[in-house]
Amino acid sequence: MNFENILVSIDNGIGQVTINRPSKLNALNKATIQELHDAFENLENNAAVRVIIVTGEGEKAFVAGADISEFAEFSVEEGAQLAAQGQELLFDFVEKLRTPVIAAVNGFALGGGLELAMSCHFRVASDNAKMGLPEVSLGVIPGYGGTQRLPQLVGKGRAMEMIMTAGMIDAETAKSYGLVNHVVPQAELLEFTKGIASKIMRNSPSAIGKAIKAVNANYKHDVDGFDVEIRNFGKCFGTEDFKEGTTAFLEKRKASFTGK
């Protein structure tokens, strides 16, 4: 597929999605959100893609927020619809993918940009990265899942402070908060992230997809996460990956998993 606002590549089982609007600091507009949805859907359905990395073009920004000019004149109903559609199309969609998604945060991740990074399964940041949810400085609140995912990752008190002050934190602070897993020099960010991806790819894609589902269930108020774990644990026993993994272990060899 040809995209106007993003770049997509596949190399050795790793799908890379790059938001490519550097003149706008890779800000998210409706068109970019739709393109991201389409790209993630295509990569999810590609059996050869085992891990997805999402990043921003250039060295300044991952995504520096949403394109405010698109919604400055919206009504109450239009604002609610904007949040609902965005969450369904991209942010919730990414969180629920069976394929692991890693955010390589290469600069500013603000507003919708941080919300996109938080919807990924985990995050790696460059040492120049800055993160925050500045929406209240514009008279609005985070609408793409920020008020829900940030407290899950950093705790209620820190999330409240970040949201209320509309301030930014640097990469090391984000790491100390648990918002990102690793901080590396800008020049090493993608190579380091691909190194983690290569470790993930040694393991069962089927089991990883079920693990994602089980972990996510812990954060849904109307779902029993333990029950989801039990059911998905059981489902693993009916997979080719389980047969291969256990046979390889008993035969004292490395397992060779075949795909999603």
C-beta separation of 117 from 153 below 8 A = no
Residue that is last in its domain, among 182, 200, 218: 200
- 10 token code pair: 């596949």
Q: Identify the domain boundary among 181, 200, 219.
A: 200
Residue 113's pLDDT band, with cuts at 50, 70 and 90, is very high
Same domain, 32 and 139: yes
Query: Does the residue 257 lie in any domain?
Result: no
Tell me: do 77 and 192 sit in the same domain.
yes
As a three-state string, the secondary structure of 182-246 is EEECHHHHHHHHHHHHHHHCCCCHHHHHHHHHHHHHCCCCCCCHHHHHHHHHHHHCCCHHHHHHH
Q: Are 30 and 68 in contact (CB under 8 A)?
A: no
Q: Tell me the per-residue pLDDT of 28-62, one tens digit each, with 9 for 90 and over.
A: 999 999 999 999 999 999 999 999 999 999 999 99
Residues marked active site are found at 115, 135
Domain-located, residue 53:
yes
Q: Are 193 and 102 in contact (CB under 8 A)?
A: yes
> 139 and 17, same structural domain?
yes
Would 188 be classed as within a structural domain?
yes
Give the Cα separation of 56 and 105 in Å (integer). Answer: 7
Question: Does a structural domain hold residue 260?
Answer: no
Do 224 and 194 belong to one domain?
Answer: no
Q: How far apart are CA 188 and CA 168, in angstroms?
A: 23
What is the pLDDT, as a whole number, of residue 67?
Answer: 85
Mean pLDDT, the chain, whole residue set: 96
Q: Is residue 42 domain-shared with residue 157, that is, in the same domain?
A: yes
**Within its chain, how far is the Cα of 88 from the centroid?**
14
How many domains does one find in the chain? 2
- The side-by-side arrangement of strands in the sheet containing 122-126 is 6-11, 14-19, 51-56, 101-105, 122-126, 182-184
- Both 100 and 220 in a single domain? no
Whether residue 229 has pLDDT greater than 90? yes
> For residue 240, is it within any domain?
yes
Q: Where is the domain boundary, 166, 185, 200?
A: 200
Q: Indicate whether 255 belongs to any domain.
A: no
Alpha-helical segments (H) within 30-180: 30-44, 76-86, 92-95, 112-119, 146-154, 156-165, 171-177
Q: Is residue 259 domain-resident?
A: no
Buried b (16+ CB within 10 A) or exposed e, 196-235: bbeebbebbbbbbbbbbbbebbeeeeeeeeeebbeebeee
Residues 109 and 172 in one domain: yes
Residue 258: pLDDT band by 50, 70, 90 thresholds? confident
Q: Where would I find the beta strands (DSSP E) of 40-148? A: 51-56, 61-63, 101-105, 108-110, 122-126, 130-132
Copy the structure tokens of residue 25: 């600091």
Asked if residue 169 lies in contact with residue 162, where contact means CB atoms within 8 angstroms, the answer is: yes
Question: What is the pTM for the complete model shown?
Answer: 0.96
Alpha-carbon distance 23 to 223, whole Å?
Answer: 42
**Do 12 and 95 have their domain in common?**
yes
Q: Is the four-CA dihedral 98, 100, 104, 105 of positive or negative sign?
A: positive
**CATH number of the domain that residue 13 is part of:** 3.90.226.10
pLDDT at 246: 96
* 153 in a structural domain: yes
216 and 111 together in one domain: no
Residues 98-103 have a mean pLDDT of: 98
Range of the domain at 209: 205-250
Which residue matches tokens 């993630």? Answer: 40
Mean pLDDT, range 219-244, rounded to an integer = 95
pLDDT at 105: 98
- In this prediction, residue 69 has a pLDDT band, given cuts at 50, 70 and 90, of confident
Same domain (yes/no): 210, 155: no
Return the bridge partners of 55, or none: 18
Is there a single domain that holds both residue 129 and residue 219?
no
Torsions phi, psi for 193 (to 5 deg): -65, -40
Residue pLDDT, tens place only, 3-21: 999 999 999 999 999 999 9
Domain match, 196 and 209 both: no
